[in-house]
Amino acid sequence: MQVQGDRISEAYSLLIQLGAQLDLYGLAEPLTVAVRQALGANEALLLAHSSGDLRSLAPDHAPATRLAEALDDRAFAEALLRGEASPYGLSHTDGTSETVIGLPLLLDGETAGVLLAAPAPEPGTLADCAPLLEVAAILFGNASRHTHAVETLNQRVHELDTLGQIDRELTERLSLEHVLALTLDYAIRSTASHAAFIAQYDESAQALHLEAQLGYRDTAELAKALKRSDSQAALHSAQGDVAMVVNDVHGTGYTAYLPRGRAQLAVPVRHEDRVIAVIVVESRRPDSLTPEHARFVEQLGTRAGVAFENARLFAETEAEREKLALILANIGDPVLVLNPELEIALMNQAARDALRLPPDEAVSGRPIADVLEGTVLAGLANYLSRAEMLPYSEVTLPDDRAYYPLLSRHPAVGAILVLHDLAVLKKTEALKNELISTISHDLKQPLTVMTGYLELLQMFQKLEPRSMHYVEMLQNAVRSMRTLIDDILNLARIESGVQIEAVPVRLDDLMQRVMEELKPLASVKAITLDGEDMSRIPPVMADPALSYTILANLVGNGVKYTPPEGEVTVRAEQRGGMVFVSVTDTGIGIGPADQARIFDRFYRVRRPETIHIEGTGLGLAIVKRLVDLHGGTISLRSTLGEGSTFTFSLPLAAPPRSGKTAG
- The smaller minimum CB distance to ligand ADP, of residues 253 and 563, is found at 563
Sites of contact with ligand ADP (CB under 6 A): 557-558, 561, 585, 587-588, 590, 598, 603-605, 610, 615-621, 644
Closest distance between ligand ADP and the C-beta of residue 436, in Å?
17
DSSP-assigned beta bridge partners for residue 626: none
Closest distance between ligand ADP and the C-beta of residue 613, in Å?
7
Could you give the 3-state DSSP secondary structure of residue 5? helix
Which residue type sits at 132? L
- The smaller minimum CB distance to ligand ADP, of residues 297 and 552, is found at 552
Q: Assess contact for 344 and 368: CB atoms under 8 A.
A: yes
Helix (H) or strand (E) holding 362: none
Closest distance between ligand ADP and the C-beta of residue 394, in Å?
24
CA distance 195 to 205: 26
CA distance 663 to 659: 13
Closest distance between ligand ADP and the C-beta of residue 533, in Å?
23
- The smaller minimum CB distance to ligand ADP, of residues 404 and 603, is found at 603
- The smaller minimum CB distance to ligand ADP, of residues 548 and 603, is found at 603
Helix (H) or strand (E) holding 469: helix 465-495
Closest distance between ligand ADP and the C-beta of residue 556, in Å?
8
Closest distance between ligand ADP and the C-beta of residue 567, in Å?
12
- The smaller minimum CB distance to ligand ADP, of residues 56 and 616, is found at 616
- The smaller minimum CB distance to ligand ADP, of residues 113 and 587, is found at 587
- The smaller minimum CB distance to ligand ADP, of residues 261 and 619, is found at 619
Q: Assess contact for 509 and 472: CB atoms under 8 A.
A: no
CA distance 252 to 233: 10
- The smaller minimum CB distance to ligand ADP, of residues 48 and 488, is found at 488
Answer whether the bond into residue 59 is a cis peptide, omega within 30°.
no
First-to-last C-alpha distance (Å) of the chain: 144
Q: Assess contact for 632 and 651: CB atoms under 8 A.
A: yes
Closest distance between ligand ADP and the C-beta of residue 641, in Å?
10
DSSP string, 249-285: STTT-PPP-STT--EEEEEEEEETTEEEEEEEEEESS
Closest distance between ligand ADP and the C-beta of residue 576, in Å?
27
- The smaller minimum CB distance to ligand ADP, of residues 510 and 622, is found at 622
Closest distance between ligand ADP and the C-beta of residue 518, in Å?
13
Closest distance between ligand ADP and the C-beta of residue 532, in Å?
18
Residue 562 has what DSSP assignment? S
Q: Assess contact for 613 and 559: CB atoms under 8 A.
A: no
- The smaller minimum CB distance to ligand ADP, of residues 293 and 604, is found at 604
Residue 64 has what DSSP assignment? G
| Cβ neighbours around 423 below 10 Å, total | 11
Count Cβ atoms within 10 A of the Cβ of residue 112 and give its class: 0-12 exposed, 13-18 middle, 19 or more buried.
buried
The crossing angle, in degrees rounded to 10, of helices 2-18 and 130-172 is: 20
Helix (H) or strand (E) holding 295: helix 291-329
